[in-house]
Amino acid sequence: MTVETHPLRADAQRNLARIVETAHDVFAEQGIDAPLSAIAERAGVGVGTIFRRFPSKDELLVAVLLHRGEQLVAAVDEARESADAGTAFSRLLETAIAAQIHDRCFCDAIGTDLLAREELVTLFDAAHTGLASLLARAQAEGAIRADVTAEDLLFVVHGVAHAGLMLEDVAPGAWRRHLGLALDGLRPEAATQLPRRPISRRQFLAARCGS
């Protein structure tokens, strides 16, 4: 955790960044099953170097997901600064989906033990909270129906993203049409009585742990 202890760290830090970035790309392209050797090769380092930084493949995945997560939190924060909550809201969902569409790994990871990691839980919690607050404003504005929760939204986002991923090669961007459909279902005019009560935040977090 100490970062400035050794001067050498300059090189190491660069290497570390390089590894995470490359892992990001490779996992995004090939999914969670990509071999570490592919990452090492593309990053121009030895596999050993990866293991020096990350005790296991899972740890590297967590780092990559954290990276992704931070981008998401940033997107949420930016959205919250907008005056027009309704529009900002739609754009945020779009951004979130785009992130998963372009990152097969992120999509793969959802519903996995990986997301139960302390660091990730904290991070996603932040995103969650931010999203809830934006949602509340959009609901107050009358842009979004009152009976949906932040958990519902995350569900919708992941659904559209995952399904969109399979179309991306043959019809890039086709998911935007389906996001449109989903958004129509979130408008107050569309509201009918929903079956079941919303899941709690606790349940949502537990869900991520997968089997």
Partner DNA sequence: GATGAATGAGAATTCATTCAT
Partner DNA sequence: GATGAATGAATTCTCATTCAT
Question: Which residues lie near a second copy (CB under 8 A)?
Answer: 29, 110-111, 148, 152, 155-156, 158-160, 162-167, 169-171, 173-174, 176-178, 180-187, 189-192, 194-199, 203-204, 206-208, 210-211
Other C-beta atoms closer than 10 Å to the C-beta of 175 total 24
Distance CA 4, CA 13 (A): 10
Binding residue (CB under 7 A) for DNA from 35, 142, 159, 185: 35
Instruction: Tell me which amino acid residue 2 is.
Output: T
From residue 8, give the alpha-carbon distance in Å to each of 3, 11, 13, 209. Answer: 10, 6, 9, 38
What does the per-residue mask of binding to DNA show for 38-77, with x meaning CB under 7 A? ------xxxxxx-xxx-xxxx-------------------
Q: Residue 38 or residue 80: which is nearer to a second copy going by CB?
A: 38
The pair of structure tokens assigned to 52 is: 């020096």
| Nearest approach, Cβ of residue 2 and DNA (Å) | 11
What does the per-residue mask of binding to DNA show for 144-173, with x meaning CB under 7 A? ------------------------------
Distance CA 32, CA 110 (A): 11
Q: Does 6 bind DNA (CB under 7 A)?
A: yes
CB 126, CB 73: distance < 8 Å: yes
Binding residues (CB under 7 A) for DNA: these are 6-12, 15-16, 33-37, 44-49, 51-53, 55-58
